[in-house]
Structure formats: C-alpha cells, structure tokens
Amino acid sequence: MVDNFDVIAPLLDFSDDNYFYFVQILQRKKDNKPGLINGANNNSRLIKAYYINSLEKYEFYKTEIIEISKLFNARAGIDLNRKHYEKMCLQHVKKIVDQILNSEFRKAHKAYNHVLGSFNHEKNKRWILYIDDINMDTTEMMHFINHECQPLGDKYVATIPSKNGYHIIVKPFDLSRFGTSFPGIDIHKNNPTNLFIP
C-alpha cells in the first residue's frame, strides 16, 4: 500500500479560488483480473473523479478516496498542475461542440473529465520523471537537470513514492539534451502522480 496524502499536501496551492486540483480513481487492467476492465479505454476505467479547491476538501475526501480505491483495487492519482475553472469550462464547451459536429453523442457525458486530463493552463507547471527502480540513484540525473538544462537552477520539487519506484516532481526544463544522456527515463508533462495505491 502507498499512501501519499501527507507527502502531497504541502505541494498544493489553494491561494487562488479560481483553481482546483483534479483527482481520479482509476482501475487499471494490469492491476486486476483479465476481463474485469471493459470500456472505451481497455487499459483503465475511471471509477470516480474529484475537483478539490481547498485543503479542507482534500482532507475531507481522503477516507472516501482510500476506501473506494481499496474496494475497486484502483489507484488514486492527483494532477499537481492546477486547473482553472473558467478555462476548463471553455475547453469543455469546445469539446462538446466538437463531439456534436462529429456525431459522438454517446461520449458527451465524459467530456469534462477528458478535458481535465488533456489541458493544462497552470503557470507554475510541474513535470513527473518516472523512476521504475526504487534503488536507482538519481543524484547524477538531477545534477544534470539542474546544471546542464536550461533554465539553470534547482528544478526539484518533491519525490512521490510508487509501488515499485517513485516519481520525481520537477519544474519544466529544456529536454533537448536530457533524452540523449538519460534515454530510459519517461517524462510526463500533464499526468497525475500517485495519491493512493492499495
């Protein structure tokens, strides 16, 4: 079990009530019995989504998120890039219109969560470096990111534990030299990090 609620709480910024954090509970195919996940996305199924705009709500939903995750053997993830209410609504309207024009009426009910997972308007963006080996030493990699990748300076934000490794949360940087020096590291620019894994 991985519970990152206390690790993630200090990273959240609720200073502007025009923003919120998107939390999803996803049941993944590879974590469950064959045939259990069946839907539009055969790799995972959305169990529930939360739109958290205060530390009080974050703490209020903690028990529910944990219990639902355990019940469905699903992972809870949080996007550390805040979402802007107005901008997400405008993207939502655009998505609905596009679906109507393409006669995709049956997908309309999923449009808002799709938009939240696809668009990011956060000014202080955070990326995730996926480290699959819990024993991997990332000292050299972080030194390279801080001293060789523009803009120069400390880009480290936090380390979030995973089941078999961890996520390093960083500020954005120029990727042009990184991939050549560290080809095995996946970087995700708009993905959730682990909040809870049963």
Residue 41 pLDDT > 60: no
Which has the higher per-residue pLDDT, 189 or 39?
189
134 and 187 share one domain? yes
43 falls within a domain: no
| Domain edge (last residue) among 121, 149, 170 | 121
Residue 43 pLDDT > 80: no
In the three-class reduction of DSSP (H, G, I as helix; E, B as strand; rest coil), residue 107 is classed as: helix
Residue 151 pLDDT > 90: yes
134 and 184 share one domain? yes
19 falls within a domain: no
Structural domain of residue 96, as residue ranges?
A: 83-121
187 and 132 share one domain? yes
pLDDT band at residue 30 under the 50/70/90 scheme: confident
In the three-class reduction of DSSP (H, G, I as helix; E, B as strand; rest coil), residue 93 is classed as: helix
135 and 186 share one domain? yes
Residue 32 pLDDT > 80: no
pLDDT at 167: 96
62 falls within a domain: no
pLDDT at 165: 92
186 falls within a domain: yes
For residue 59, the Cα-to-chain-centroid distance in whole angstroms is 18
Cα separation, 143 vs 154, in Å, equals 9
* pLDDT average, residue stretch 131-139: 90
146 and 183 share one domain? yes
Alpha-carbon distances of 164 from 105, 134, 142, rounded to whole Å: 40, 6, 20
Cα separation, 176 vs 91, in Å, equals 30
Q: Return all residues near 176 (Cβ < 8 A) that are at least 6 apart.
A: none
187 and 148 share one domain? yes
pLDDT at 33: 64
182 falls within a domain: yes
pLDDT digits (tens, 9 = 90+) for 70-111: 999 999 999 999 999 999 999 999 999 999 999 998 888 888
158 and 140 share one domain? yes
73 falls within a domain: no
144 and 109 share one domain? no
112 falls within a domain: yes
pLDDT at 36: 59
pLDDT at 110: 86
Cα separation, 31 vs 84, in Å, equals 32
132 falls within a domain: yes
152 and 117 share one domain? no
132 and 187 share one domain? yes
Residue 40 pLDDT > 60: no
On average, the pLDDT of the chain sits at 91
- pTM, two decimal places: 0.88
Residue 127 pLDDT > 80: yes
Give the chain's domain count.
2
